[in-house]
Amino acid sequence: MPFITKQDDSNVQLYYEDFGSGQPIILIHGWPLSGKSWEMQIPVLLNLGYRVISYDRKGFGKSSPSLDGYDYDGLAKDLHEIITQLELKNVILFGFSMGGGEVVRYLTNYGSANVDKVALISSIIPLVKQKDDNPDGVPQEKLDEIMQALKTDRITFLESFHKDFYNVGLLSKTVSQKQLDYDWAIASFANPIATIKCAESWANTDFRPELKNVTVKTLIVHGDSDNIVPIDTAGKQAAKGIINNDFMIIEGAPHGLNITHAEELNAIISRFLTTQ
C-alpha cells in the first residue's frame, strides 16, 4: 500500500491511492471520514482521463495520527508534501466539506502557480461559526454541544451525525442503513484526538480574508438542504468572495450530496472539467 512519510515527522505516514494517468486531481475528504468517501466520483474522473489521487487526512483512514498539526496550516502542509513527493504538476484540487479548507489554505500559503483549478463541494468555506457579521452560521452553543459529545461519547455522536449528514429521518431515507453503517465504521475508526482537533479547526477558522487568494477557476457546489454546513454561511458566501467561480446549487441535496446526488454532482464536475 502506498504511503508518504512526512519529512518533518517520520512517525507520520499519509496513505494515498493513485490511479490513472494524465493531469492529476487530488481529492481531499471531509470530516470525519476518509478518502473512501470519493467512491462515487473516482470512476467518473478516471473515465475523463485524469490521474486521480485520494488520500486520508492524518489520523483518519489508514494515515498515522499525530498529537498536533491539525490546524489548517498543518493540514495544508500535508497536502503540499503529497504534491511535492509525488512530483505533481498543474494539479486540480477537490475539497469536500472540511477539505475545502485545505484547498484555500494551500493557495494562501503556497500560491496557485502549480494549481490549474479547484472545486469546493459541500465546503465549509468561508466560515461555519455564527458571528455578528455572519448571522447564518452555526450557533456557538451547537458547536459546543458537538465538541462535548466528541469528548464524552464520540461513538454515539457519530451515529446521529451521519443521519444529519444525509438528512435521514423517519420519513426520509435518503441513503440505506448500510451506507450509514459504513460511514459510522470509518468515522469511529478515526483517531479520537484527530477527530476532535480537526473539528476545532473547521468550526473556528475564518477563511473570509483568504478568499482573495483563490484566483484560479473554481467550482462551488452546495445543496440547499445542507443541515451540517448551511448554504447561506458557506456556498453563497464563497460564491460572492471568489472572483472566478461557477456556483451550482443542487436542489434538495443534503451535506452528503456526493452519495445522495452522485449522478447530478458527477455531471456538474464533468462539465466543469471539460469546458474552458
Catalytic residue numbers read 97, 226, 255
Query: 32-52 b/e with 16+ CB inside 10 Å = b?
Result: bbbbbbbeebbebbbebebbb
C-alpha cell at 186: 470509518
- Cross-strand bridge partners of residue 55: 16, 28
Ordered strands of the 3-5 beta sheet: 3-5, 13-19, 51-55, 24-28, 91-96, 115-121, 217-223, 245-250
Residues 6+ apart with CB under 8 A from 78: 6, 14, 57, 58, 69, 102
Q: How far is CA 213 from CA 80, 148, 217, 237, 252, in A?
A: 16, 34, 12, 15, 31
Q: 3-state secondary structure string, 166-203?
A: CCCECCECCCCHHHHHHHHHHHHHCCHHHHHHHHHHHH
